[in-house]
Amino acid sequence: MAKSFPLAGKIKGEIRYSVPLSGYTSFRVGGPIDYLAFPADMEDLRKTLQWCRGQGVRYFILGNGTNLLVRDGGVRGMAISLSRGFIGLEEAELDQGEKLVFSGAGEPLGRVVEFAPGRGLAGLEFAAGIPGTVGGAIFMNAGAFQGEMKDAIDSVRLMDAEGKVWERRRGELKFSYRSMELREGEVILGGRFRLRAGDGQKVREKVEEILHRRRIKQPLDLPSAGSIFKNPPQGPAGKLIEEAGLKGRRLGDAQISEKHANFIVNRGRARAGDILALIELAREKVLKEYGVLLEMEIQVVGED
């Protein structure tokens, strides 16, 4: 950690020190991070990235912490939240009934999903109920119900570690299953979605149907980070874990959900170490039983 922090008087946004990340992740676990910054605008973010580069401080974009597990020892470096200066929605007309809707990276994805039906736009129904921010959803190529972010993205706005900003079109973006390739140090500032004209009422009904299916199948009443593992070609990860006899397995207050075995839930005072131990148990058991090595979908950061 740097001995001084000159940015404190040079950016308009807020900077916090030694902040427990348990309050900023959906798992509600995790140790402290050295710095947590909330840049107020593009210039704030540019100064923050340049300072990190100059001081050799590692950084990552926090989002809503819905796909993140922070180890109990915390994180050396900086987390940057775009939840204050990088929000808002804009729309523009295109030919043949299509529209482009731009969303800032800090905007909750759910707000964009709700925004579309009111304007008679379709194409983002699959994202109903996916937690997190637009930036996080793009970075993880979030998807469900036969749809992914790459299917709706027209372009992504980015800033590199030196503060340069540009737009990268869909054809220049490299998406894969639950991932989008970024160059080192790049930050997603927002995304432009290409949506098609549709019946607003039917779009709403589809969104409600998907939300209902999520409520039935997923343990939404307890803290979690959503699906822990990517689905392998052999079938749903949750089914493999359940068939391996691990559904409901508990370690401390961490538990492989009794409702959906690809979720690990925090039943009160879980520690990141307990969650990681359950993750390894599931991977080892599924590998032993079925010869399938499960790959994590969530991001894990920090020190033990």
**Residues assigned a catalytic role:** 178, 227, 297
**Amino acid (1-letter code) at residue 276:** L
Alpha-carbon span 36 to 51, nearest angstrom: 14
In 25-98, at which residue ranges do the beta strands (DSSP E only) sit? Answer: 32-38, 59-61, 68-70, 75-80, 89-93
Residue 197: in which H helix or E strand, if any? strand 187-197
How many whole angstroms separate alpha carbon 122 and alpha carbon 125?
7
As a whole number of angstroms, the distance between CA 73 and CA 276 comes to 13
| β pairing state of 75-80 and 32-38 | parallel
- How many CB atoms are closer than 10 A to CB 214? 16
d(CA 13, CA 267): 35
* Token representation of residue 153: 């993205």
